[in-house]
Structure 1
Amino acid sequence: MASHARGHLVYAAVGVLAVHTERGTSIVPANRIAWTPAGSAHRHRAHGDTDMRILFLSPALARLVPDRPAVFAASGLAREVVLALTGPHEAGAAGAAGAGAALDGTAPGGRSRAARARLLRVLVDELSDSHEQPLHLPEPHDDRLRAVARILHATPSDDATLAELGRAVGAGGRTLSRLFRSELGMTFYEWRTQLRVHHALVLLAEGHDINHIAHACGWSNPSSFIAAFTGVVGTTPGRYRTGHRGG
């Protein structure tokens, strides 16, 4: 993992990003913007044909957002400001798929430094007023939970009960249930749903159809998948895909 001297915001104009930190993995689709503070160890992974936009913040602006990794809802205004500050007129490679534009509000570009600074302040204000909406999958540390996580990451469609998974990893179902709550702050069902939605976002970015994604990620039918996805992401898979491609 890498870290930077300044904190930065990351947005996927196209595709899906996974941001890995010591706390776990956050999926960053088109309706989210991720924040990583200065000095925080992290790794980005792109899924699909990804257009990643990065904005570094000055220490003064960074003080206005959390001092920990966070993921915010991307309002229409926030999205347009990010795109404006990382567009081709600001940096030649900014619009290329898979390329990030690492801009800090003071670097030369198509806008004056004062204009960039004003736009960055608008962006930070917009995020500060936004609700945090993480698509976060906590990273387990207990060996038994890690073994369960490996099984379900490898096969998210696995519909085994917690007791059945416990027998596979050498732990009782009640023990695992207690560990999920105490260590990860969620029930096993909540954690597995979050994991499946993470996988579904990746498959959407890769262009798979809804029926395939539903069954590959463990839902018995597309309707169940759509309901679960909407509950976590805030929009249906179809609308998410259409809006993402339109960005």
Structure 2
Amino acid sequence: MQSHAQGHLVYAASGVLAVHTELGTSIVPANRVTWTPAEFTHYHRAYGDTDMRILFLAPSLARLVPDHPAVFLASDLAREVLLALTGPRNYDAAAPAYSRAARSRLLRVLVDELDEAHEQPLHLPEPRDDRLRAIARMLREQPADNATLAELGKTTGASSRTLSRLFRDELGMTFYEWRTQLRVCHALVLLADGHDTTQTAYACGWANPSGFIAAFTNIIGTTPGRYRSTPGRSIHTRAAVKAPAARSGN
């Protein structure tokens, strides 16, 4: 776990990253960018063969991006700027790739591109209520568990009505939306580890591959098979995403 005085962008040029913060977990497949604001305690985890790039933003630029953890699609221009600013020559003090002025201009272009991008539905919010946290823990350990909310509620001593209200109030989504998002995030990890579409579908709790493909495509914007075969290409996510809950105080 760590935190920084400046907010930072993390880009997965290939592979899949998970960024864990106090508000939840952001899954960052290839060609996505995750933003973690300053002072947020967090840690990163990579899955598969991952090329991870990090850029810190000065406060003057950080105020132009959200004040909560978020994931963005990297446009072609944003991707090239990210790669340019994190290439090997950037760490050569004797002959840097860009002057300070040029680097500042490129960072502003990058922030402008992110400002035009839509947040991706790849941030899984972390529950605060103990009953929801218990359910979240069970489903993370067994994402293929198809128990209903009423059945899960029996293990926590809460009715399905109470749990449904808590999911809406705390996380801004229904239980089934949250579980689907959890499963798709887990599917990205399995695909990065080399599992095929059918294996991944059953491991994540879908009764058949077609249901998995539909849910995956709705969130990621392409089929699992195409996602696995085009790791370095820009993929546009279709689904809208609700803003995460307001940041709690540290």
Same fold (TM over 0.5): yes
Give, in whole Å, the separation in 1 of the partners of 2:76 and 2:16: 18
Which moved further from structure 2: 199-208 or 72-81?
Answer: 72-81
Tell me the residue number matched to 1:97.
none
- Helix, strand or coil: the match of 2:90? coil
Q: Are residues 1:206 and 2:204 paired?
A: no
Structure 2 counterpart of 1:141, from 128, 132, 151: 128
Q: In 2, Cα distance between the equivalents of 1:12 and 1:169?
A: 37
SS at match of 1:53: strand
Q: Which residue of 2 aligns with 1:120?
A: 107
> Against the structure 1 CA distance between its residues 147 and 224, is the aligned structure 2 distance closer, same or farther, given a 3 Å change threshold?
same
- 1:189-225 deviation per Cα after TM superposition (whole angstroms, max 9, x unaligned): 0010000001001111111111100000011111111
Of 172, 183, 190, 1:196 maps to 183
Q: CA deviation at 1:162?
A: 0.8
Q: Deviations over 1:211-243 (max 9, x none)?
A: 100000011111111110111112221222222
Partner secondary structure for residue 183 of structure 1: helix
1:77 has 2:77 as partner: yes
Amino acid at match of 2:38: A
- Runs of 4 or more consecutive aligned structure 1 residues displaced over 3 Å after TM superposition: none
Deviation at residue 38 of structure 1 after TM alignment:
1.6
Q: CA RMSD for the aligned pairs?
A: 1.9
1:4 partner SS: coil
Q: What's the CA shift string for 1:133-170, capped at 9, x where partnerless?
A: 24111111211111111111111011111111112222
Question: When the two structures are superposed, what TM-score results if normalisation uses the length of structure 1?
Answer: 0.89
Whichever residue aligns with residue 20 of structure 1, its letter is H
Please give the alpha-carbon distance, in whole angstroms, between the structure 2 residues aligned to 1:20 and 1:108: 35
2:89–2:95 Cα contact (<8 Å) kept: no
Q: Secondary structure at the match of 2:77?
A: helix
Alignment of 1:154 with 2:147, yes or no, is: no
Q: Is the 8 Å Cα contact of residues 8 and 35 (structure 1) preserved in structure 2?
A: yes
CA contact (8 A) 2:82 2:110 kept: yes
Q: Are 2:249 and 1:241 aligned?
A: no
Quote the Cα distance in structure 1 between the aligned partners of 2:88 and 2:118.
30
Give the whole-Å Cα distance in 2 for the aligned partners of 1:179 and 1:108: 55
Amino acid at match of 2:181: Q
Residues 85 and 116, structure 1, Cα contact 8 Å, conserved in 2: yes
Residue 61 of structure 1 and its aligned partner are, at CA, apart by: 1.6
Q: What is residue 61 of structure 2 aligned with on the other side?
A: 61
1:68 Cα deviation (Å)?
Answer: 2.3
- 8 Å contact from structure 1 (residues 72, 134) kept in 2: no
State whether residues 150 and 160 of structure 2, in contact with CA within 8 Å, keep that contact through their aligned partners in structure 1. Answer: yes
1:76-130 CA distance string (max 9 Å, x none): 11111111111233238xxxxxxxxxxxxx9962222222222111111111111
* Equivalent-residue separation in structure 2 for 1:11 and 1:82 (angstroms): 8
2:89 maps to what in 1?
89
Aligned length in residues: 234
Partners in 2 of 1:16 and 1:199 — Cα distance? 11
- How many angstroms apart in 1 are the aligned matches of 2:131 and 2:156? 6
Structure 2 residue aligned with 1:10: 10
Selected match of 1:221 from 202, 205, 208: 208
**3-state SS of the aligned residue for 1:55?**
strand
SS in 2 for 1:11: strand
In the alignment, structure 1 residue 41 sits paired with structure 2 residue 41? yes
Question: Is 1:182 paired with 2:169?
Answer: yes
Classify 1:144/1:42 alpha carbon distance in 2 versus 1 (closer, same or farther; 3 Å).
same
The answer to whether the 8 A contact 1:35-1:71 is kept is yes
Q: Give identity over the alignment, percent.
A: 74
- Cα distance in 1 for partners of 2:63, 2:129 equals 34
- In 1, Cα distance between equivalents of 2:95 and 2:167: 49
The whole-number CA distance in structure 2 between the counterparts of 1:193 and 1:10 is 24
Counterpart residue type for residue 38 of structure 1: A
Residue 182 of structure 1: how far off its partner (Å): 1.4
- In structure 2, the residue matched to 1:166 is 153
